[in-house]
């Protein structure tokens, strides 16, 4: 019997809220995305969310206000999705609401995703499941990445050694080796620094197709300085976010003599090379890589990945039946299903948690 869930995702890029309607059947591969919607964030909300990544006076109140606004945006996305697909809210088992990560410091024992799931449950009259990461952190884990458990469920192949690379604000990698247990980790910056530099100097949310970066020249000394960061030397389990890779991190490496376009080119190489290095370090025998997330639509970035790993077939997750832009949102629909049916949603070998855990908190309708 197929059951319907909604997944909501607002990523590190802070651009808006994705909502997907997903049908789950009896087998792991019996999964179908029935529709999607998207609600963009206004510049004022983006600015507020970005500011909340650093401490300041009255940040607690501002975070709660922003969380309420996010829940209202989520409601708008859900209403549009239900209307678009002709679905009744009564037919939805639960909503998986990721919220917006504003602090991620598992080494201090916490991760914080804001949003008001209680308000969303009141607005939608649907069960809402949120706060997926905290239980894993409480169990000694990183709380991220969580998507490898989902990747294992739907993208694994019995004989083919694959990697799934999600290039969002932060890039994360899932290694699907049929002969060993699934592994995964954050490799480093995905779009987060590229988008920041594009917004700062071109007043564009992102560098479409990497066209600006393509015309720049690689600054090797700057790239070497980036890779001196100890995060790249860490072994998994590991995760990161805007707490670490941010404007201040970038600025401390820059020199006035650097061209702004050459900096963009070098930032793109940082993303591509950190992904390629991580894959080569952890598993040299991967034969297939599937890309998802916003960075998968950056044609120059994809070209660089193919050039750095010529022996590997690199495609988009669309080839596996799931749209590149919606993998993460579908993953949180799946995580909601796991929680509702009291099944674990983490992989301890990925996050470093003490064991399998049921993730999230339920806000009943």
- pLDDT tens for each residue of 18-66: 999 999 998 888 999 999 999 999 999 999 999 999 999 999 999 999 9
Task: Return the DSSP state at 297.
Answer: G
Looking at residue 282, what is its pLDDT?
80
Closest listed residue to residue 112, CA positions, set 121, 120, 103: 103
Start-end of H helices in 86-116: none
Which structure tokens are listed for 187?
A: 């490799």
Report whether pLDDT(284) > 70: no
Report how far residue 50's alpha carbon sits from residue 225's, in angstroms, rounded to the nearest whole number. 25
Confidence label for 289 from pLDDT (cuts 50, 70 and 90): very high
- pLDDT tens for each residue of 224-256: 999 999 999 999 999 999 999 999 999 999 999
Confidence label for 5 from pLDDT (cuts 50, 70 and 90): very high
Report how far residue 90's alpha carbon sits from residue 205's, in angstroms, rounded to the nearest whole number. 37
Confidence label for 14 from pLDDT (cuts 50, 70 and 90): confident
Over residues 311-331, the mean pLDDT reads: 97
Start-end of H helices in the chain: 43-51, 59-85, 117-124, 134-138, 147-155, 192-202, 211-214, 220-227, 247-251, 260-282, 299-308, 327-340, 348-351
Delineate the domains of the chain, giving CATH numbers in brackets.
Answer: 3-143+326-363 (3.30.420.40), 147-320 (3.30.420.40)
Burial (Cβ within 10 Å: 0-12, 13-18, ≥19) of residue 202: middle
The values of phi and psi at residue 261, to 5°, are -70, -35
Looking at residue 34, what is its pLDDT?
98
pTM assigned to the model: 0.96
């Amino acid at each position: 019997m197929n059951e319907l869930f909604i997944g909501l995702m607002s990523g590190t890029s802070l651009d808006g809220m994705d909502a997907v309607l997903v049908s789950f059947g009896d087998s792991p591969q019996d999964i179908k995305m029935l529709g999607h919607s998207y609600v963009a964030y206004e510049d004022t909300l983006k600015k507020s969310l970005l500011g909340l990544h650093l401490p300041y006076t009255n940040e607690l109140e501002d975070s709660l206000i922003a969380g309420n606004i996010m829940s209202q945006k989520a409601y708008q996305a859900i209403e549009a999705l239900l209307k678009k697909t002709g679905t009744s809210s009564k037919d939805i088992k639960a909503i998986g609401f990721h919220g917006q990560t504003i602090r991620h410091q598992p080494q201090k024992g916490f991760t914080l995703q804001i949003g008001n799931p209680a308000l969303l449950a009141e607005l939608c009259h649907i069960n809402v499941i949120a706060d997926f990461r905290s239980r894993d952190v409480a169990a000694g884990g990183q709380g991220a990445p969580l998507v490898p458990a989902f990747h294992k469920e739907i993208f694994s192949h019995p004989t083919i050694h694959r990697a799934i690379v999600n290039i969002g604000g932060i890039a994360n990698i899932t290694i699907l080796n049929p002969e060993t247990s699934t592994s995964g980790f954050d490799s480093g910056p995905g779009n987060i620094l590229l988008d920041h530099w594009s917004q700062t100097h071109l007043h564009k949310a992102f560098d479409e197709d990497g066209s600006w970066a393509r015309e720049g020249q690689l600054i090797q000394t700057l790239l070497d300085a980036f890779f001196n960061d100890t995060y790249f030397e860490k072994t998994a389990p590991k995760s990161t976010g805007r707490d670490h890779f941010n404007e201040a991190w970038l600025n401390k490496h820059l020199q006035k003599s650097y061209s702004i376009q050459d900096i963009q080119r070098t930032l793109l190489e940082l993303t591509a090379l950190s992904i390629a290095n991580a894959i080569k370090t952890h598993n040299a025998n991967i034969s297939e890589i599937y890309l998802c997330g916003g960075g998968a639509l950056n044609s120059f970035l994809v070209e660089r990945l193919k050039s750095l790993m010529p022996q590997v077939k690199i495609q988009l997750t669309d080839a596996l039946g799931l749209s590149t832009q919606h993998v993460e949102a579908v993953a949180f629909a799946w995580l909601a299903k796991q929680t509702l049916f009291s099944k674990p949603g983490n992989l301890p070998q990925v996050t470093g948690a003490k064991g399998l855990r049921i993730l999230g908190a339920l806000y009943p309708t």
